[in-house]
Amino acid sequence: MLEEYKRHHRDVWPEMLDALRRNGWRNYSLFSREDGLLFGYFEAEEDFAAALAGMSGENANARWQEFMAPYFEIPSGAHPDQMMLELEEVFHTD
């Protein structure tokens, strides 16, 4: 289902993009391996928890997460964005 998932992300709903910007999600990228493993990265304007909390109140995000749920292996009733976790940066170069 990876090609279908990619297609949806080429046409992300404008209201979802607005919600991300409104809640401080910057430099947001998704990466995939051939086997379907996904890795997402974004920089939060405030902090990770605030960025997630802001999106949790967005109607567009609730609809998007429901729409994307079939593409993920997640616990029943969970949304993909509830599986996100913060990672510690241990190295960076420009």
Catalytic annotation, pick one of 8, 9, 79, 92: 9
Distance, in Å, from the CA atom of 79 to the CA atom of 36, rounded to the nearest integer, reads 18
**Is residue 9 among the annotated active site residues?**
yes
Residue 24 burial (C-beta neighbours within 10 Å; 0-12, 13-18, 19+): middle
Question: Which residues are marked as active site?
Answer: 9
